[in-house]
Structure 1
Amino acid sequence: MDITAGKTGVPMVCADSMMRNVWPIFAAYVADYPEQCLIACCKENRCPICTVGPNQRGDHGEHPLRDMRETLYLMHRQQGGQKDSEFEDDGIRAVYPPFWTNLPHSDIFQSFTPDLLHQLHKGVFKDHLVSWCTEIIGKLEVDDRFRAMPDHHGVRHFKNGISAVSQWTGAEHKEMEKVFLGLVAAGAEPEMVKAVRGLIDFAYFASLQSHTSQTLLAMRDSLNIFHDNKQIFIELKGRSSHFNIPKIHSLDHYEFLIRLFGSADGFNTESPERLHIDYAKNAYRASNRKDYIEQMTIWLQRQEAVARFTAYLSWVETLEVPKAALPRTTTTVEPIAPTTPSPAASQAPIDKDSLVISHHRLSLAKLPATRAVSATHIISQDGHNASRFIPALITFLGPSNSRFTPRTFDTFGTWKRVSFKLPQIPEIGKRHSTNLVRATAPAPASFAQRRAAEPAHLDCALIRTGESNSFTAGTALAGLRVAQVKVIFQVPSHYPGKPGPLAYIEWFTPLRRPDDTDGYYHLSRSSRQHGPYAEIIPVDRIVRSAMLIPQKWGEDKSFLLNSHSDGHAFCLYKLGRADSLPT
């Protein structure tokens, strides 16, 4: 093996087209566990990174890292016929000399990277944690809970449960993680809930694209919570006897490896597996299956050319061009008209060019999806089930319009949804940039239009409020409260003042402290005068969606505010990142 370049350097053209002397070194090795053990020359009942004993991998203890010089020394003595107890104690295999013996500036034992897909999402979570919980709760009960999980935009609904699924992908594992803690929390032992919470929080922290000392400390604490409570799985007979599992032990090294290499997503084996689809399978499908290698090569060259030109166009869009040089265009999105805000509403002006409304980037269809929906239908349980719609509308119009009274036969234009553009934050990157809040009534099946029945989608959301809350004061959640958005509408033209788009909401109780067991905020429906606490607000007071999970299955009284529904929600609730909210 020629390693001269790593010792003396070699001229290379860099990304800025400049020629520099570069020392290529062996820095990272992405492989599964058996291959890691093979490369590290250790037995598969050991760890390729540290010297943990074969029966101590589930103890969550600190163990010395493998030393490259010492390992080579012991292997050399073993090759010469000398027996050392350390050779057996460290679980070394008699492979000499390994290919990495003389690699410059490299340590093979510190070159193995975290594998989010196989170690964490598929391994510890799906193959172990889900199996243990299913064994305790019961397969049918787990399927029923997945079916009963509330529908939420951006969260997959497993309408048939999970027991019948034979093949899983990394994306499905991560979708399960979004709701699994809420699924388990109902009626489970506190230690079991804490263990599940610790492992899922760890998975979310480990998947962040950018880390700070705060996130790494929180990731360590999450792993500690899991290990402090994992014995409950054995006590409840979800796990047979021990946790001496290589993938569970591998999590102990994540903090060290992230500090060494950077965020774990850069070494995720999900990336090369995805590239196999993009560069091999899709290319083959684009051919006529005859002389396909040549056709695949041409297809890839064309894809690269398109990608380069797309990148160039994206760069051009970032340049500042004088407005006079731009062609006149029309927008397809109507700016929200100014409203008469309630005392709790924001007083910020509306930027019609960027559609920044009350500090929220909000988009609404130009015209309502339905033009003439009667108040009777809005109030009806077969419609939007907004039982306090008329009283709330009277209150919103205020005492200055006391001579005008809304009637049940009045008709309103209604929108199906309002969307928000979530900001790009380093921890999440460009993923999940759109957030929707839906407010649609159930639609019956139509044989003439060949349309199946559609259930109602009445999402919950975080709402700006002027109320003071000592529990959230000074935090990212200050001034926010959860409510269910049941109607997004505009009033008829003959209404006084003709306010802009409005939303009918029903409040939940104010946020307090996260629960010590599941880590979620616990909420219940607010009531006034033996009915829901309802209010009509300008639509620009809606901040983003909020997913609620029933605390007890089959009841509609208490709920858990899901902090795992998406990456931005996790950063908001777990890290207190106010910049994860639409701005």
Structure 2
Amino acid sequence: MRTVHPRPLRSHKTFHQAAPAPRSPSPVHQDFDDAHLPDENRAGESFMPEADNSSVQLGPLFRTFHPHLTGLKCDINGDFINQNAPPTPQTEALPTNWTPYESHVAFETAEFLFTHNQMSAGQIDTLLDLWTATLIKHEDSPPFATHHDLYDTIDSTPLGDITWESFSMSYKGVKPADNVPPWMKATYDVWFRDPRLLIHNMLTNPDFDGEIEYTPYWDYNDNDKCCFKKNFLGNWTWMQADKIAEDPEMHGSTFVPLIVRSDKTTVSVATGHTDELTYSTKEHADDIDFRNFRRQLFYSSLANIFKSLKKYMMTPDIVRCPDSHYRRVIYGLGPYIADYPEQVLLSGIVTGWCPKCLNDRRNLDGNGLLRCREHTNLLVQELQHKQLWYEYGIVGDVVPFTNDFARADIHELLSPDLLHQIIKGTFKDHLVDWVGEYLERVHGCSCAAEIQDDINRRIAAVAPFAGLQHFPEGRGFAQWTGDDSKALMKVYLPAIKGHVPQDIIHTFSAFLDFCYIVRREALTEDDLVQLEDALHHFHQYCEVFKMTGVRLTFSLKHYSCTIRLFGAPNGLCSSITESKHIKAVKEPWRCSSRYKALGQMLMTNQCLDKIAAARSDFEACNMLHGSCVSDALQALKTQLPNRLHVNEPQHQTIEGEAAEIIDGPAAKAHVELAAKPVLGGACDIPALTLKLGLPSLPTMLHIEDPEPPASDPAMAPTFLGRISVFSSAAASFYAPSDLSGTGGMRHEHIRATTSWRGGPARNDCVFVSMNDEFSCGLDGLAVTRVLCFFSFKYWTEYLQCAIIRWFSYITDSRDPDTGMYIVAPSTNDDGTPDVSIIHIDCIFCAAHLIPLYGTNFLPREITLHDSYDVFHAFYINKYADHHAFEVA
């Protein structure tokens, strides 16, 4: 029995720690009342802004703004205005004007059928006919007569109306006299939408008001160390601003970098059909001329697509922003998100070489110089093609598209690819496969297969956790996605402990630390030191693979440098854009007739953009507050105030297993019980005692009687009144590095139920915030397992409690091999489980434990439901998610 008092934990730090970044001399820090630059102009006066070397203090951070590219407001002609002047309204439409839709119902119907349900034309007609049948007696009709009517209405939406354009390209080089290859005679159509107009649409979107930065800035912590988060906080943006500001005419403008992503994907999973940019017969597929033509065709297409921006990379474009003010905008090609094959194509290097540096492909972790546009151009001018190819890994016959644009260097702009390079590449395709190779080389194929089977059983036996994927067959399935690889990373290390040497465990531990640090939502200079340290240890320990003949074929050395340039790579991960493959390519393909599908797919995407733009506009006019039902009821109540008594349906949220995002601002961590108690559950303490098999339970619940004051809490009477039992609780907390809401908040469910999903019981583990005297393990956090959630009312106070079983830390320090703390179930002196009752305010968040499997093989009958009951010691899984990594 122990006493636990709830105390607030220190707020989860937004910025962690990371090595000094090269930066220009920063202005002197000054304190201001808010985060805005002081106004330089007086009402009604036109002026040329002077350099503003101001900094502001934002809580524990100091923010230093760029002195020249200050994002000042201007009029439609580009003349600077009074910075306190109110904006002109974005639209003059009334808040009842749903044009081109007839009503709120018409817009919601169109959005539901076309965007969410993606209903076919025939099914839309069937639904509208059924709807019509219900309204005939009321002499009314649905908002649309047929699918044609629906499509025509969407097409007439004026917002988001950027048409698709195309241009044609063909081979213009020397052709052979006979047997001209088909690719030399073909014409290739490239479809695009003007990126300048797309940017205008994005910058005008009122949804982004308050979310866009108009002035490059640096954030510093209390120790004057730089913090890297969004792209606007990186050194690259500041350096671009310095180059732009060399022209005094550009002062007061704002810099808008384009984050670009390209990738090819199959549009049909069933057939493997792919729309290729170019086509050739197998006879010419490996022809050097054809491969170079494909590269240059790709470059020329990108250069042509972005040509509308070229002028405005040197002179300002006057653009309306989300706050309805105009600003002078200077564009620039920014970070380019691409997987390795795409990086090779974009940078014009030979496969196997690094697109960022000149390291030989046989030693990618060497200390080679960084590639740059000027050096590459010089090499191409001075050296022969063969020497370029074999000594520098450069394809000398092509010119990267970025060479056509100001301040753009493709070698610098290529951003780290977390999904393909780290998650699917280094972890799944290298480390996990190397373990298999190692086991076969050391133990032989037969014995290695038995060990792999045991590793799979260990993975399958891992206890459930919110957001944690279950592997019923271990890792033994053929088709792996990025999400599968992320999920395996969370549970793989303890599963191989005992089957592989210590150095391999250290290799995985160092790599996982590198991976979780680099995927933080924000990093500081101290974080980068930790990152480099983890990478150093990874390289040190992975030598064990080399000694057994496994070949290492990757490099992670450029992450620290690129983070300084572009901010946290979590915001530039290809998984962000890869998720759009489904919405932008696969789903439109499935909705097409499959015949000349490209045009249909483009129109589908255009209609989706129109609907999204209309929603943003309606929301900005406060027209989408409430549902269609509430609007209709309100209208009827206005017409028939004394006759209508109808309640709007209440929608209940159904609990999910995965952790969920919470929209809204950041808030203090807290735990709430489920909305409803368990039906037919224990109704008092004696019944709960029998149900849980805890004879000591009644003696644990002592409550001080408020009248008269109890002199000795231990003598307080036992509570024997009615209680309500709950099967779960939800912990809400700040976790910006995980999938979270706009304020970085999310919540996860903690289970304590006698039957989970119709199967055995599930009782999750949690971190409990302890008294300040508790110093073991995780900085005042104890690990417990929840046996039951319950609540009751005593006098006027409503108490929410949890019955928990304590775990004890085996040692005060982490396990030196895995880097994780180890705990074991705690017992009393008489050998009974150490159980207590605590208030749920003491719970910080869920905890995930993975058994210490040892060297013995796991019996086949043990499943995930047995994990917390049959093992004697557990790792606190710091890799369960990013929040767990920060806590544990």
TM-score band (shorter)? 0.7 to 0.9
User: Which residue number corresponds to residue 800 of structure 2?
Assistant: 501
Q: What SS does the corresponding residue of 2:730 show, helix, strand or coil? A: strand
Q: Deviations over 1:91-127 (max 9, x none)?
A: 3222255544453212221111111111111111111
Mapped contact 1:27–1:111 kept (Cα < 8 A): yes
Aligned residue among 510, 523, 534 for 1:222:
534
From 660, 670, 674, give the equivalent of 1:365. Answer: 674
AA matched with 2:519: S
> Which of the residues 330, 339, 342 maps onto 1:32?
339
The aligned residue for residue 867 of structure 2 is none
CA–CA distance in structure 2, aligned partners of residues 54 and 403 of structure 1: 75
Q: 1:242 aligns with which of 535, 542, 551?
A: 551
Deviations 1:477-530 (A, max 9, x none): 433211111111246x8x999872321111111472222221111111111121
- Once residues 117 and 312 of structure 1 are traced to their aligned partners in structure 2, the CA distance between those partners, rounded to angstroms, is 39
Q: Distance in 1 between matches of 2:623 and 2:510?
A: 41
- Equivalent of residue 257 in structure 1, options 562, 568, 575: 562
**Partner Cα distance (1:295, 1:45) in 2:** 38
Q: Distance in 1 between matches of 2:513 and 2:464?
A: 22
Could you tell me how far apart the structure 1 residues matched to 2:612 and 2:404 are? 40
Hey, what's the Cα distance between the residues in 1 that align with 2:346 and 2:467?
A: 40
User: Would you say the 8 A contact 1:393–1:536 is kept in 2?
Assistant: no
Match of 1:66 in 2: 371
Q: Are the structure 2 counterparts of residues 459 and 309 from structure 1 closer, same or farther at C-alpha, using a change threshold of 3 Å?
A: farther
Structure 2 residue ranges without an equivalent (≥5): 1-302, 440-447, 627-646, 653-663, 704-711, 859-869
Q: Match of 1:527, SS? A: coil
- Is the Cα contact below 8 Å between 2:776 and 2:812 reproduced in 1? yes
> Quick one: distance in 2 between partners of 1:117 and 1:418?
32
Report SS of the residue matched to 1:422. strand
Which residue number in structure 1 is paired with residue 767 of structure 2? 462
**2-structure distance, mates of 1:395, 1:527:** 16
Larger radius of gyration: 2
Cα distance 1:61–1:96, how it changes in 2: closer, same or farther (>3 A)? closer
**1:390·1:406 contact (CA, 8 Å) conserved in 2?**
no
Correspondence list, 1:474-485, <5 A: 477-485=778-786
Q: 1:213: how far off?
A: 1.3
Matched, 1:13 2:322: no
Deviations 1:289-315 (A, max 9, x none): 799454553344224423554577699
Is the Cα contact below 8 Å between 1:134 and 1:142 reproduced in 2?
no
The answer on 1:149 being equivalent to 2:462 is: yes
Deviation, 1:186, is 4.4
Read off the aligned partner of 1:551 and give its amino acid letter: L
Tell me, yes or no, if the aligned pair for 2:738 and 2:881 is still in contact at 8 Å.
no
Residue 410 of structure 2: which of 108, 114, 120 is its match?
Answer: 108
Deviations 1:120-149 (A, max 9, x none): 111111111121234436331222112111
In the aligned structure 2, how far is the partner of 1:226 from the partner of 1:312? 54
SS of aligned partner of 1:70: helix
CA apart distance, 1:284: 5.1
Distance, in Å, in 2 between the alignment partners of 1:330 and 1:478 is 47
Q: Does 1:567 align with 2:869?
A: no
Question: In 2, Cα distance between the equivalents of 1:392 and 1:536?
Answer: 8
Taking the aligned partners of 1:283 and 1:489, their CA distance within structure 2 comes to 49
Secondary structure of the structure 1 residue equivalent to 2:489: helix
Counterpart contact for 1:75–1:96, Cα < 8 Å: no
Per the alignment, do residues 453 and 275 of structure 1 end up closer, same or farther by CA in structure 2, a change over 3 Å counting?
Answer: closer
TM-score normalised to the size of structure 2? 0.51
Taking the aligned partners of 1:284 and 1:89, their CA distance within structure 2 comes to 44
What are the residue-to-residue correspondences of 1:281-430 with 2, within 5 Å? 281-283=586-588, 292-293=600-601, 294=603, 297-306=606-615, 309=618, 360-373=669-682, 386-387=692-693, 389-397=694-702, 413-425=724-736, 429-430=740-741
How many Å apart are 1:377 and its aligned residue?
Answer: 7.5
From 416, 423, 434, the equivalent of 1:121 is 423
Deviations 1:231-274 (A, max 9, x none): 22344x5xx4321x1xx21x111111111111213332222221
1:172 pairs with 2:172: no
Q: Tell me, in whole angstroms, the C-alpha distance in 2 between the residues paired with 1:99 and 1:467.
A: 60
**Partners of 1:453 and 1:130 in 2: how far apart?**
34
400 and 11 in structure 1: CA distance in 2 versus 1, 3 angstrom threshold: closer
User: SS at 1:463's partner residue?
Assistant: strand
SS, match of residue 490 in structure 2: helix
Aligned with residue 873 of structure 2, among 549, 552, 558: 558
Change (3 A) 1:105 1:489: same
Gaps of 5+ in 1: 318-327, 334-353, 444-451, 574-583
Task: Give the total of aligned pairs.
Answer: 507
Would you say the 8 A contact 2:671–2:840 is kept in 1? no
Query: 1:45 aligned to 2:352?
Result: yes
3-state SS, counterpart of residue 395 of structure 2: coil
Q: Which has the higher contact order (CA 8 A, sep 6+)?
A: 2
Q: Say if 1:551 and 1:560, in contact at 8 Å, map to a contact too.
A: yes
Q: In percent, how many aligned pairs have the same letter? A: 25
Q: CA deviation at 1:559?
A: 0.7
State how far apart, in whole Å, the 2-side matches of 1:535 and 1:330 are.
Answer: 41
Judge conservation of contact 2:673–2:730 (CA < 8 Å) in 1: yes
User: Relative to 1, partners in 2 of residues 1:537 and 1:51: Cα closer, same or farther, differing over 3 Å?
Assistant: same
Query: 2:824 maps to what in 1?
Result: 524
* Counterpart Cα distance in 2 of 1:152 and 1:195: 25
Deviations, residues 31-63 of structure 1 (Å, cap 9, x unaligned)? 332332333333223211111112112xx3322
Question: What SS is found at the alignment partner of 2:473?
Answer: coil
Distance (Å, rounded) in 1 between the aligned partners of 2:355 and 2:762: 50
Q: Give 1:360 shift.
A: 4.6
- Does residue 54 of structure 1 match 2:353? no
Q: Are 1:332 and 1:366, in contact at CA under 8 Å, matched by a contact in 2? A: no
- Deviation of 1:280 (Å): 3.4
Aligned to 1:24, the other structure's residue is in SS state strand
Change (3 A) 1:212 1:311: farther
Q: Which amino acid aligns with 1:168?
A: W
The AA in structure 2 aligned to 1:41 is G
Kept after mapping to 2: 8 A contact 1:509/1:523? yes
| Contact 2:353/2:360 (8 A) holds in 1 | yes
Counterpart-to-counterpart distance in 2, 1:485 and 1:255: 41
AA aligned to 2:391 is D
Give 1:562 shift: 0.7
Corresponding letter in the other structure for 1:48: P
Structure 1 range deviating more: 142-151 or 268-277: 268-277
Would you say the 8 A contact 1:208–1:428 is kept in 2?
no
Aligned to 2:523: 211
Residue 871 of structure 2 aligns to a residue whose secondary structure is: coil
**Native 8 Å contact 1:51 1:66 kept in 2:** yes
CA distance in 1, matches of 2:354, 2:874: 42
Q: Flag the 1:69–1:467 CA change in 2: closer, same or farther, 3 A.
A: closer
Change (3 A) 1:441 1:4: closer
The more displaced of 252-261 and 86-95 is 86-95
Which residue number corresponds to residue 383 of structure 2?
78
Secondary structure of residue in 1 paired with 2:350: coil
Deviation at 1:30, TM superposition (A): 2.7
Tell me by how many angstroms 1:376 deviates.
Answer: 8.0
- Give the aligned partner of residue 396 of structure 2: 94
Matched, 1:436 2:741: no
In structure 2, relative to structure 1, the CA distance for the partners of 1:521 and 1:427 (3 Å cut) is: same
- 2:558 counterpart SS class: helix
CA distance in structure 1 between the partners assigned to 2:604 and 2:373 by the alignment: 46
Deviation at residue 458 of structure 1 after TM alignment = 0.5
Quick check: 1:286–1:296 contact (8 Å CA) kept in 2? no
CA distance in 1, matches of 2:826, 2:841: 22
